Chains A and B, each alone.
Chain A
Amino acid sequence: MTVIANILIVTTIVVGLIFTIVTMIGILRLPDVYTRAHAASKSATLGVLSILLGVFFHFWLKEGHFSISLLLGIVFLFITSPIGGHLMGRAAYMSGVKPTELTVGDDLKDAVKEAKAKNMQQLKD
């Protein structure tokens, strides 16, 4: 039982650590804001989530303390972290940050132009 618990704890924490390191490399290596936001919001979420899960298992299986706060933290992080990434990417797009040269499509540009035109039409009426 102790061996299984140890394996579970060590595996989840090491997976979390690897994902966090991958996030760091991604933020350093990727070319523009959008790809960096992608790396930061996805992989960091899973990394921290996995570390929290490992800590939760440690306190539950080794110390006998069932921590609701850690579970709540996991749920909270799972909800809020991607929203943070979304809002940062959106704010960057709206303030005119250009994506990298390698980008092939930009659907949001047409949508924003259409919305602006509609808005101008409404102002005229």
Chain B
Amino acid sequence: MKTNDVILQTTTKVVFFIIFLFSIHIFFAGHYTPGGGFVGGLLTTGAIVLLLLAFDLKTVQKALPFNFTIMTAIGLLLALGTAAGAIFFNVPFFTHAFDDFTLPLFGVTSLHTAMVFDAGVFLVVVGSAITIIQSIGGDS
């Protein structure tokens, strides 16, 4: 019997964006307030899992056409790249650097290389968690 999921699906369409934007906020706020790459990644995973619950696996794969295994690899490369990049400036491995830049919309912003490392963590968490859930959820 085909179930009638109108209420769940309509709510999911609204709630997904709230969770996703909040995960982005948590990710960027991680340097000064609680949060960071890991929690942000888990929240994004939660948003995608909500989509998986409301719709089926094929629809979500069509809507988000990423290869999550490759996403994990890119995240690891980003993390390793920021760590290894320090070697070229004659400082120890994993030395981070930051500077203040004046961006057009944000004003004076301090950009830190730890951000790139955090982005790597974010991608690894999202990629591996979604890979686990997709491989458990898919029967064929």
Contact = CB atoms under 8 A, between A and B. Distances in A.
Contact of B15 (A76, A87, A115): A76
Nearest to A86: B7
B8 A83 contact: yes
B11 A80 contact: yes
A109 interface: no
Contacts, number: 21
Chain B CB within 10 Å, residue with most, of A75, A80, A86: A80
Given A115-B1, A119-B1, A83 B7 contact: yes
Contacts of A116: 1
A79 B1 contact: no
A70 to B, nearest CB: 12
Q: State the majority secondary structure of interface residues on B.
A: helix
B18 A72 contact: yes
Contacts of B58: none
Given A83-B8, A83-B11, A75 B18 contact: yes
B63 interface: no
A93 B133 CA distance: 28
Nearest to B18: A76
A94 to B, nearest CB: 8
A86 B7 CA distance: 9
A113 B120 CA distance: 52
Interface string A59-82: 000000000010010011001100
A58 B2 CA distance: 48
Contacts of A79: 11, 14-15, 18
A79 B15 CA distance: 8
Nearest to B14: A79
B101 interface: no
Name, among A83, A86, A119, the residue most crowded by chain B CB atoms within 10 Å (CB to CB).
A83
Given A86-B7, A87-B8, A80 B15 contact: yes
19 contacts: A69-B22, A72-B18, A72-B22, A75-B18, A76-B15, A76-B18, A79-B11, A79-B15, A79-B18, A80-B11, A80-B15, A83-B7, A83-B8, A83-B11, A87-B8, A115-B1, A116-B1, A119-B1, A119-B2
Given A69-B22, A79-B18, A87-B8, 8 more contacts: A75-B18, A76-B18, A79-B11, A79-B14, A80-B11, A80-B15, A83-B7, A83-B11
Interface of A: 69, 72, 75-76, 79-80, 83, 86-87, 115-116, 119
Interface of B: 1-2, 7-8, 11, 14-15, 18, 22
